[in-house]
Amino acid sequence: MTTPDFDNIVFEIEDGVATVTLNRPDKLNAMNESMRRELMAALDHTDANDDVRAVIWTGAGRGYCAGADLSGGSATFDYSANVGDGSAKPKVQRDGGGQLTLRIYESVKPIIGAINGAAVGVGVTMTLPMDVRLASTEAKFGFVFARRGIVPEACSSWFLPRVVGISRALEWTYSGRVFSAAEALDAGLVRSLHAPDELLPAARELARTFTEETSPLSVSTTRQMLWRMLGADHPMEAHKVDSRMVQELGAGPDAAEGVASFLEKRPAHFEGKPSSQLPPSMPWWDERPFE
């Protein structure tokens, strides 16, 4: 597949790993609508490209993402001109950050956040549906919404308590304070801290463990199973899905290769293509409309 060109992000593929770099360094990579759309297009590309096994997101310059671009001034979050029609119950305009995090949630490929600097507002909420987050020792984080007169966005009221627990999530969102990478590590928001020049190599090494000697179909299916079971109301729901996925993947060539390589004491060579060969029962969930 042809690698796409973008204006607000840099997109690269090497050794089966795509790297997406937010690239507005003069604005600390603050997100505008063009960047948001490009990030979603990058996800479409990585899902469709079977040469991509894992994805790393990071930022150019000294910031990861300073949040929404506030150059529009006090009207930045005022959508009334777009949705008001004079009715008692005006139409709700969808939160763009939420559209992005839902798209990350739906990714077929594992996503690693390599948070190289300040991650504030949507800059941190966009990382919550990523599978693993690593951070530079110089990174800072902030769920600053209460200090801007709004509320947590980008589906973070669902993701954040699941990542760090409800009490820590409320502490951070009530205060809106910016906190250190060490505090993020202590709370489990990030997996590990790294010197700035060691962050991307560490992310790439982690991605390698996801991609070497593992079935692309297994990894993609596992990602959906674990994320979507977070909302299940009983382990029986997981048992139903587990049973279907084991049966359907177990009848395929990747499972045969996995067993054969183990018995023959050799590396496995998996050829399954997530773009077209995921288990026939996927999706087993109902898509949720925005109402």
The count of C-alpha atoms lying within 13 angstroms of the C-alpha of 113, restricted to the half-sphere facing its C-beta, is 27
pTM of model > 0.75: yes
Predicted pLDDT of residue 4: 78
| Average pLDDT of the segment spanning 107-119 | 98
pLDDT tens for residues 261-290? 999 999 999 999 999 999 999 999 999 999
Q: 191 is written with which tokens?
A: 């997996």
Residue 90 pLDDT more than 90? Answer: no
Predicted pLDDT of residue 70: 81
Query: At 105, which amino acid appears?
Result: Y
Predicted pLDDT of residue 91: 83
Residue 85 pLDDT more than 80? Answer: no
Residue 87 pLDDT more than 60? Answer: no
| Average pLDDT of the segment spanning 82-88 | 57
Residue 84 pLDDT more than 70? Answer: no
| Average pLDDT of the segment spanning 42-71 | 96
Q: Which of 12, 14, 32 is nearest to 76 (CA)?
A: 32
Residue with token string 């956040």:
113
Backbone phi, then psi, for 179, in 5-degree steps? -130, 165
Residue 2 pLDDT more than 70? Answer: yes
Q: Where are the domains of the chain?
A: 9-211, 215-291
Residue 146 pLDDT more than 70? Answer: yes
Separation CA 184–CA 286 (nearest Å):
34
| Contact (Cβ atoms closer than 8 angstroms) between residue 18 and residue 211 | no
The percent of residues above 70 in pLDDT, for the chain, comes to 94
Predicted pLDDT of residue 3: 76
Same fold, 9-211 and 215-291: no
Residue 83 pLDDT more than 70? Answer: no
Residue 75 pLDDT more than 80? Answer: no
Residue 95 pLDDT more than 80? Answer: yes
Separation CA 12–CA 204 (nearest Å):
13
| pLDDT bucket at 67, cuts 50 / 70 / 90 | very high
Strand pairing partners for 193?
135
| Average pLDDT of the segment spanning 178-182 | 98
Architecture of domain 215-291: Orthogonal Bundle (1.10)
| CATH code of the region 9-211 | 3.90.226.10
Q: Which of 274, 282, 291 is nearest to 225 (CA)?
A: 282
Predicted pLDDT of residue 140: 98
Query: At 82, which amino acid appears?
Result: N
Query: At 102, which amino acid appears?
Result: L
Question: 141: which DSSP letter?
Answer: E
Separation CA 37–CA 45 (nearest Å):
13
Residue 20 pLDDT more than 90? Answer: yes
| Average pLDDT of the segment spanning 247-271 | 97
Predicted pLDDT of residue 291: 84
Helix or strand or coil: residue 192?
strand
